[in-house]
Amino acid sequence: MLLSIISLLAGCGVFLVGMNLMSDGLERSAGNGLKGMLARISNNRIAGVAIGAGVTGIIQSSAATTVMAIGFVNAGVMTLVQAACIVMGANIGTTVTGILVSLQSLNIDAYVAIFAFVGVMMTFIKNNKVKNIGNIICGFGLIFVGLKSMSGSLKNDVELSNFFINIFASIDFPLLLIVVGALFTALIQSSSAATGMVIIMVGAGALPIENALFIVLGSNIGTCITAMLASIGTSPNARRTAVIHLTFNIIGTVLFTILLLFLQNEIIALTDAIAPTLEMQIAWFHVIFNVTTTCVLLPFVNQLVKFSQLVVKDEESKEPVRKLKYVDARLLSTPSVALGQVKREIVYMASLARENLRLAFMEIVSQSGESEDIIRDNEAQIDFTNRALTKYLIKLTSLVDAGEEKEIGSYFHVLNDLERIGDMAENFLEISIDMKKENLNFSENALTELSQMHDKLQVMYALAEDIFENRKVQELSALSAYENEMDALKSELSAGHFARLSQGDCKIELSAFFTSTVVSMERIADHLVNFGCSILSPTGSQKEAQKKIK
């Protein structure tokens, strides 16, 4: 019996390792696909369910998808209604693992196990895409190796099998079985893995199907522990997402517990008609549970949201705390998604710097002081974003592959360029304040020239943002051309200014302010070229990127 227990535990370990390896490989291979799915989040409930199911089908974990949803809600880029739909879809997506595990009953495990060897061999190839595919194949094979070991230990050792039969006979009570399922799933933090193990025990005859159905119900409650833990210390809406996840599964469990108490034979007969083996019946019961619960509760999403708001109250207003708009630490569990959110955060940071540039230049023109508070606040957010994203990227670097690591390298340089643009915009504000104190104003000709340069800079800024956000490599030459025009304007405006000085049309006290404004705008143009060229150059080097353009 001791050897059988060791074989059972070893098989369980191999099974869990295989699941994690396959999940990680799928996530890395489908990184852009995940980002694409999550980018399509809308207020359409059915679309939200489909996205939740699709993402979970890829990463093989409803808990991970729910944690992602909590991260998005905490970052303020997903509403509670959207998150509720994602959570419902995640519960459907997680049933894929159960169906996969149930295929073991068709005696294909001996053939599929060879995938583990093939996958390991593929991981020795240096190409990252091949490595990821190798991880998927190896994980898939290891799942069946683990299943074979667990199944064999139960089927070949009558004493061990009877031990489990006696245990479940002693707790042959629906509520206790649900609690067992919830606690076991909370321990391993995966309803997919828990259901897989239940399937194996049913197939080996160590667990009656009547008891297994209640344990599967409990596993759906137990999987909520991951989301509940992830919501600690988050915003009220993020905590409400975890409450919605728990409420959804509790309502579904209560509903199906009642059905099983009165219609157990009919439900088992239904699964028997759908699937040819006991293992497949459990897997399809899990599918029926989640699909039915989603269909029942989807029309009541708003009511679920209101209930979560009653459970989790809004916090009393405090001093505003700066935080990132699109990025959340919980998204690090899915690095490809986290990297996509970093890009969105950088685009937002760029928009703040661009807005500050516009407002600060208008202050030079008007000296009204009306935009000073907005500029100061934006600049504080830009500085905070630079520091926070830098720390976040350092953590993310160790979680991504070589290709994404280069992308992260370019983002470090982009952050520096945008932070410098923000500083120069703030310098424009200081220029306007100093000029107002000294009662100085630029002449009409000087303002016209500066406005011409600023307008061209704004056009260049919009182009650089578009290139970075949409990877428009073909527009880099146009961006470079604008930078050459800005260099020419700098020389032209400086010459015009000194001409006005010699003719007595401009005060000498204005020279430092005029020259500083012109030089700053030309330097901003240089930073914008770096910003755009970052899509080609991991180091953020203009020269390196321009070589690639040519």
Is 296 within 8 Å of 317 (Cβ atoms)? Answer: no
pLDDT at 40 (0 to 100):
67
In order of 9, 102, 154, the CA distances from 164 in angstroms are: 14, 20, 9
pLDDT at 317 (0 to 100):
53
pLDDT tens-digit map of 103-142: 776 777 667 778 888 888 888 887 778 888 888 889 888 8
Q: What is d(CA 339, CA 51) in angstroms, rounded to the nearest whole number?
A: 19
Quick one: pLDDT band at residue 100, thresholds 50, 70, 90? confident
* DSSP output for 455-506: HHHHHHHHHHHHHHHHT-GGGHHHHHHHHHHHHHHHHHHHHHHHHHHHHTSS
Tokens 């670097």 found at: 397
Structure tokens at 118: 């093939």
pLDDT at 62 (0 to 100):
76
Quick one: pLDDT band at residue 35, thresholds 50, 70, 90? low
In total, the chain counts a number of residues equal to 550
pLDDT at 549 (0 to 100):
52
- Checking if the pLDDT of 319 tops 70, the result is no
pLDDT at 4 (0 to 100):
79
Those residues with Cβ within 8 angstroms of residue 8's Cβ, 6 or more apart along the chain or in another chain = 149, 150, 153, 154, 160
Range 319-342 average pLDDT: 83
With pLDDT > 90 as the criterion, what percentage of the chain qualifies? 36
Quick one: pLDDT band at residue 378, thresholds 50, 70, 90? very high
- Checking if the pLDDT of 546 tops 70, the result is no
Quick one: pLDDT band at residue 33, thresholds 50, 70, 90? low
Of 63, 519, 1, 89, nearest to 298 by C-alpha is 89
Side chain identity at residue 309, one-letter code: Q
Span of 26-30, 442-446, 491-495, 541-545 with lowest mean pLDDT: 541-545
Structure tokens at 445: 């000709």
Q: Which residue has the higher pLDDT, 16 or 242?
A: 242
SS3 148: helix
Is 304 within 8 Å of 248 (Cβ atoms)? Answer: yes
Q: Which residue has the higher pLDDT, 31 or 79?
A: 79
Q: What is d(CA 52, CA 39) in angstroms, rounded to the nearest whole number?
A: 12
In order of 49, 418, 444, 465, 491, the CA distances from 65 in angstroms are: 12, 32, 59, 30, 55
Is 296 within 8 Å of 255 (Cβ atoms)? Answer: yes
Angle between helices 95-102 and 128-156 in degrees, nearest 10:
60
Range 132-154 average pLDDT: 82
Of 293, 240, 541, nearest to 416 by C-alpha is 541
224 φ, ψ to 5°?
Answer: -75, -15
pLDDT tens-digit map of 430-482: 999 999 998 988 888 888 889 999 999 999 999 999 999 998 999 999 999 99
- Is the pTM for the entire model greater than 0.85? no
DSSP state, residue 527:
H
Measured at the CA of 147, the angle between CA 98 and CA 180, to 5 degrees, comes to 60
Side chain identity at residue 20, one-letter code: N
Range 260-269 average pLDDT: 90
Please tell me the CATH code under which domain 329-549 is placed: 1.20.58.220
Q: Which residue has the higher pLDDT, 66 or 463?
A: 463
Burial of 183 (0-12, 13-18, 19+ CB in 10 A): middle
In the chain, the largest separation of any two C-alpha atoms, in whole Å, equals: 107
Domain spans of the chain?
A: 2-311, 329-549
State the average pLDDT for the chain.
85
Of 516, 399, 417, 534, nearest to 479 by C-alpha is 534
- Checking if the pLDDT of 270 tops 60, the result is yes
Side chain identity at residue 292, one-letter code: T
Tokens 């490989």 found at: 25
pLDDT at 454 (0 to 100):
94
pLDDT at 362 (0 to 100):
94
Q: What is d(CA 381, CA 108) in angstroms, rounded to the nearest whole number?
A: 57
